[in-house]
Amino acid sequence: MTGKDIVCKAMVARGPKQPLVLEDITVSPPRAGEVRVKVVANALCHTDIYTLDGLDPEGLFPSILGHEAGCIVESVGEGVTSVKPGDHVVPGYTPQCALPSCVFCMSHKTNLCPAIRGTQGQGVMPDGTTRFKDKDGKEVFHFMGCSTMAEYTVLAEISCAKIDKEAPLDKVCLFGCGVSTGLGAVWNTCKVEKGSTVAVFGLGAVGLSVIQGARMAGASRIIAVDINPDKFPAAIKEGASDCVDSLNGLPSGKTVQQYIAGTLTQWGVDYSFDCTGNVEVMRAALECAHRGWGTSCVIGVAASGHELSTRPFQLVTGRVWKGTAFGGWKTRTDIPKLVDQYQRGELPIEQYITHVYEGVGKTNEAVDALHSGSCLRSVVKY
């Protein structure tokens, strides 16, 4: 084991639906195969809030949430070779062990490396223990293998995407989750072709990045759907051709799926994406997909206990239902490439940063902003 304990500030999630608590925590040195990082900036994702609200069946308390961050390596544990102190990394909640024996890492069909998924879901490091203690010496759980609502955190080496040191960490932190997920859902999971028609349900950062990805893929028509029309200007800027207010803007007697497949289009869209986490919306997204071949992709994360339903006839008549985790990107190989694309000016992401805060202690304000409906991503700089 190398190094010493670090005492630093963190926002601790003490219980469901409670504000985060600013506390001094002790972060142990990284053990074999682990990396301790200084978190420079952390963006909030809807999944953090969903877990804080007690909706995640895997949610644990007390824990340190956060999984969309830009970090600098402080120290490394025994055997770590792919990063060194001073390197810049974006943590990935989907690791990439890259071992020839990992059928998932060796397959081009998926990014779902299961190497540490079991312990990650239990809120501990791969050896089954935590690196966080509160001021009373009690253990605090990790979250999604990241826990970036702390000034320092410990990651598995296989979760660290090493990126260009010139890239601004308070911007490229966004590649740690939402924006990468939306782009990857379009480019990797669905492989949307030029000329395709697309419908996007939910216009947060994930839905807007689906629109951005679809536009870049050459989609001919992009239908943007939300219950909050304030989201439409941003959707149009990203490339939406039609906006649908599914709460107050539908012709009477029509569901949103009937309006899209029947009125806006004859047979439905080639691709649809759920970016809400609402299972009724997931159903609508499937049912507005084109008869014979339309594909619908579930991105949103549904609350504990919620299940999908549709008439099997929808699938018999050629629609395909699929889903994506982190847009299919392989963390260590692909995040650095997305960052490079951003650096070259080919992939703008600043438009998603609507709120900025200074200091980890401001994270509750960032949470409130995300609840407000006017926020896409709030970035907290530590």
Of these, 8, 34, 56, 140, which contacts ligand AHE (CB under 6 A)?
A: 56
Residue 381 interacts with ligand AHE (CB under 6 A)? no
Question: Rounded to the nearest whole angstrom, what is the least distance from the CB of residue 35 to ligand NAD in the complex?
Answer: 23
Instruction: Note whether 226 and 232 are within 8 A (CB).
Output: yes
Question: What CA–CA distances, in Å, run from 272 to 175, 221, 269?
Answer: 22, 12, 7
Segment (H or E) for 371: helix 363-372
Catalytic site residue 190? no
- Binding residues for Zn ion restricted to 176-215, rule: CB under 5 A: 177
Of these, 47, 148, 153, 209, which contacts Zn ion (CB under 5 A)?
A: 47
Catalytic-role residue among 14, 23, 102, 310: 102
Of these, 10, 40, 44, 45, which contacts ligand AHE (CB under 6 A)?
A: 45
Catalytic site residue 97? yes
Segment (H or E) for 207: helix 205-216
- Choose among Zn ion, ligand AHE, ligand NAD, none what residue 34 binds, the Cβ cut-off being 5 to 8 Å by kind: none
Instruction: Note whether 271 and 297 are within 8 A (CB).
Output: yes
Query: Using CB under 6 A as the criterion, which residues of the chain lie in contact with ligand NAD when the complex forms?
Result: 45-47, 50, 177-178, 181, 201-207, 225-228, 231, 246, 275-278, 281, 299-301, 324-326
CA-based nearest residue to 202, from 261, 281, 296: 281
Instruction: Note whether 239 and 211 are within 8 A (CB).
Output: yes
Catalytic-role residue among 23, 26, 110, 117: 117
In the chain, what's the furthest Cα-to-Cα distance?
66
Residue 120 interacts with Zn ion (CB under 5 A)? no
Instruction: Note whether 381 and 357 are within 8 A (CB).
Output: yes
Number of C-beta neighbours around residue 60 at 10 A: 16
- Binding residues for ligand AHE restricted to 179-238, rule: CB under 6 A: none
Nearer to Zn ion, 232 or 326 (CB): 326
Instruction: Note whether 245 and 229 are within 8 A (CB).
Output: yes
Residue 325 interacts with ligand AHE (CB under 6 A)? yes
Question: Rounded to the nearest whole angstrom, what is the least distance from the CB of residue 180 to Zn ion in the complex?
Answer: 9
Catalytic site residue 131? no
Nearer to ligand AHE, 277 or 294 (CB): 277
Burial of residue 136 (CB within 10 Å: 0-12, 13-18, 19+) is exposed
Binding site for Zn ion (CB under 5 A): 45, 47, 177
Give the catalytic positions in this structure.
Answer: 45-47, 67-68, 97, 102, 105, 113, 117, 177, 377
